[in-house]
Structure 1
Amino acid sequence: MKDFFVECRDIGIYEDKLYFFTDKATIPCWIRKNETKIEINVQLEKMIEKIESFDKILVLKDKILVSTLDGKYLYIFNMNSSKCTKHEIHCDGDDMGNILHIEKIGELLFLFSGTSRKVVIINTITYETKYSPFPDNVDSSYRKVIKISDGFLIFPQNGNDVLYFDNITFAIKEILVDFHIDSIADILNEDDKVIILEKCGKIIEWDRQKKGVKIYKKLESLYTEDLCASRIIPINNDYIIMPSTHTQIIKVNNDFEFLAVIDDYPPDFEYKSDREKWNKYTNYTEDNNYYYFVCRTSNYFLKINKRSGQLSWIKACLERNQQLLIKTLRSKNSIIYENENINLNDFIDLLEK
């Protein structure tokens, strides 16, 4: 039995564990932050009644929340009671990419939908649900959300009509900014300065307090329409820019000048040739020391040290005993017969789960 490579759309973190669901079979997995072995989360697996395609994930102290890819539902897995509840959120504006961001503040959960053009507010105690629609006078397609001190900013894929969402009053208003965004890739909020990365490598630095704007085009020669950027993350006083359809991981300084290409890949690393047009590093999570990226187009996950920028790679595969475990859990008769692929030690390992 060969190793089974896993693909996932998003990853969550709580304490010493990373949590995710595989893209195709919706297998719930976890991995300890300082280890490299991916394991089945048996408790979550037993709570799943229907195989759905999951998208965004948020991990809290005793709950794991995931939105479905079609934007119809939010699943809440309660790790204390081992029960799962399913909530309609009515964000099915498209086949995928319906939820831009999920964040919890106090007892309230906020889900931002660009395709359905609204914010969903759920009380996590009573599960009362409210909706704040985007203003009728804006017709931009919205793609990115960041938390700021007094609310959230919602950015369009193209244009200059940014939205501000007040997480106290739930009001949404349009902010016409003094710059134009062309194909947004990522955003950062750093001390009231918003860093906007466009897919072409252009960077906009927007000082919200001083209302100043700086535009950096020094990296545009590195990118094309077919080979574009995906994410930007701070590393000490520098930044790392992750590739989308491009293949180069690039380090730049705080003036967004090119420093180096980081290419310390594992010997057996590869990007899948049939997914050249897929975004390589769509989502990540972080703690105080590291960023953790999932990748749907390669055979590894990526871990980046926030201080040194050093890359560490985690092979994205389920070993044989974990494959046997999920097969056992999902088998209709719960019987696995011993053959050349399964020995007594594997059976014992399964029984101990």
Structure 2
Amino acid sequence: MNQERYTRQTILKGFGLEGQKKLVKAKILVIGAGGLGVPVLTYLNAMGVGKIGIVDNDVVSITNLHRQVLYDEGDIGESKVIAALKKLMAQNPDGEIVVYNTFLTTKNAIEIITDYDVVVDTSDNFPTRYLVNDACVILNKPFVYGALHGYEGQVSVFNYKGGPTYRCLFPQMPKENEVPNCNEHGVLGIIPGIIGNLQALEAVKVIVGIGEVLSGKLLIFDGLQQSYQKIKFKLNSENRKRKKLQDFYEWNDPCEIIPNVSADELQNLLSDKAQIIDVRTIEEYENYHIPESIHIPLDSLETNSDKINFSIPVYLLCQSGKRSETAFRQLKEKHPESSLFSILGGLNQYLAACS
């Protein structure tokens, strides 16, 4: 350990050299290398955490850059974990960075999480959060939670020293159509930085043993009012009795097969003048769209399906590939004989492939 690098931390009363040694010995897993993950990774690495694991299977797109400040335009199209690895090693070569170029699943969650002391979940979807929670309960690992919604954010720490779990606060997973996401509703670039840094702080407090950890408390930040509030919640002891993971955590039936084409193939489809249905919002479409596409927002798809020619293949497009799958299910139910396809990775993957 290069003690000079961390002098401003080690002279801090209540932290000291002993606190720094605990960080150096610590192993922290960060799930997600996006808006929340970037500040978490940047500060934990800079502060001298000995081993950091990164789980993500996404690539850098230009729409990431306003908030994911670890990346730049030269990284567009590259795996996020590989791009992050390069930047973090240049920032501080003292620590060990382990990358998992995959999404967290029921098949790998236990194996990956086992090796770490603390899990910081910076994912952006409920299935992953419930999977992280259950794996952490089974393995008795504390898990630092963060979430975003518009100008607001939330932070808490679950499963800490026998404390409440994620399911104690959110017992049931919401339905997919009840959940907003930043592709549809946007996110102000600075908000992930604030929430991600609060998550990093909680992880440090857990490792070093300083301050009051946000266990049993949900911190809510309102960026427009610059205000914080805390909501207390209690442990439901039944939620700590879990011994195995669920068979699946996805919103969709895991046996359901959705025909799809890759974003790389979209260029060929455009050359063939294929029927592309863009199901994003009006704002997203006006900001950028493929000229040849037909715009029908997802929330009006059923009432405007007469704009679609179901006698020829229909290719459904959104920003990341999630809403196009929802559109597929809606249309397939009403038009079972039609040839419907979802474009994998959506415009994010398409723009990355074109860069």
TM-score for both structures, normalised by structure 1 = 0.26
Considering Cα pairs closer than 8 Å and 6+ residues apart, tell me whether 1 or 2 has the greater RCO: 2
Structure (1 or 2) with the greater strand fraction? 1
TM-score by length of 2: 0.26
